[in-house]
Amino acid sequence: MTPRWQGWAALRPGVLCYGGRIGATGRHAHRAAQLLTGEGLVLRGADGRDHAVRAALIPANAPHTIVRGTADGLLALVDPARIGQPGGGEAAPGSAAAWRLGPDVPVTGDLDTLTALVDALTGHVAPRPPHPALAGAERAVRRMLPGRVRLSDVARAVHLSESRLSHLFTAEFGLPFRPYVLWARLDGVWSSLAAGATLTEAAHAAGFADAAHLSRVVRRMMGNAPSAMTAGVRWLS
């Protein structure tokens, strides 16, 4: 039986870190690149085939499923600006969505192990600066959150048409404006949970209508109900 999520979590700049039991998920995709390690993992990539992996790096916005989890593993959701195709890895057979990492990658460990692994995978990748208008748009979105964020207001703030800004979000970030804003709201949820808030409190603090709204978004972007992924999680400072 696939284990439920239970372990520790921590926020670091540009990274959501997790270690412990990793459960199965439905098919999903999200803005972050995902590092995943553990014995016995089975992932389903965009090709619809199942692949047994020990350590994998899944690019941002790539549809994937955790078919079988692991009793003890590591997971990191990483800002995609920090990460590229890992050197020394190989594409999972038949899959454009996941790269297997080499056998020397540690599959269990503590927060220091995981942060060192993320640093090792991303240290050689020079962050790609976004289009200047997108950098301004990201700042505008952060200023507007947790309130309502309209494309028209953000476009006005960066002196672009709505259509041009919408095109830039899709071309540069790989997802449209509205899903980008929802992912930004999820960042607020993780921050609230790390500070000790309940799911309902975190949902309201991030600007979701209610816990049910948050649950729908998390299911779509993370492949599971938020309660299933957070009930057994201990947040580290």
- pLDDT of 36-73, one tens digit each? 999 999 999 888 899 999 999 998 999 999 999 999 99
User: Would you state the torsion angle of the CA atoms of residues 191, 232, 65, 50, taken in this order, to the nearest 10 degrees?
Assistant: 140
Query: What is the band of 201 on the pLDDT scale with cuts at 50, 70, 90?
Result: very high
Neighbour tally for 112: CB within 10 Å: 8
Locate 223 and state its tokens: 């492949």
What's the 3-state SS for the chain?
A: CCCCCEEEEEEECCEEEEEEEECCCCCECCCCEEEEEEEEEEEECCCCCEEEEEEEEECCCCCEEEEECEEEEEEEEECHHHCCCCCCCEECCCCCCCEECCCCCCCCCCHHHHHHHHHHHHCCCCCCCCCHHHHHHHHHHHHHCCCCCCHHHHHHHCCCCHHHHHHHHHHHHCCCHHHHHHHHHHHHHHHHHHCCCCHHHHHHHCCCCCHHHHHHHHHHHHCCCHHHHHCCEEECC
pLDDT tops 80 at residue 207 = yes
| Domains 6-122 and 132-235 in one fold | no
CATH architecture for the domain at 132-235: Orthogonal Bundle (1.10)
CA proximity to 65, closest of 85, 78, 80, 46: 46
Report the chain's C-alpha Rg in angstroms.
18
Give the right CATH number for 6-122 from 3.30.200.20, 3.40.630.30, 2.60.120.10, 3.40.50.300.
2.60.120.10
* Cβ count within 10 A of residue 125: 14
pLDDT in tens, 134-187: 999 999 999 999 999 999 999 999 999 999 999 999 988 888 999 999 999 999
pLDDT in tens, 101-144: 888 899 999 999 999 999 988 875 556 667 899 999 999 999 99
Start-to-end CA distance of the chain, whole Å, equals 31
The domain spans of the chain are 6-122, 132-235
Q: Are 120 and 78 in contact (CB under 8 A)?
A: no
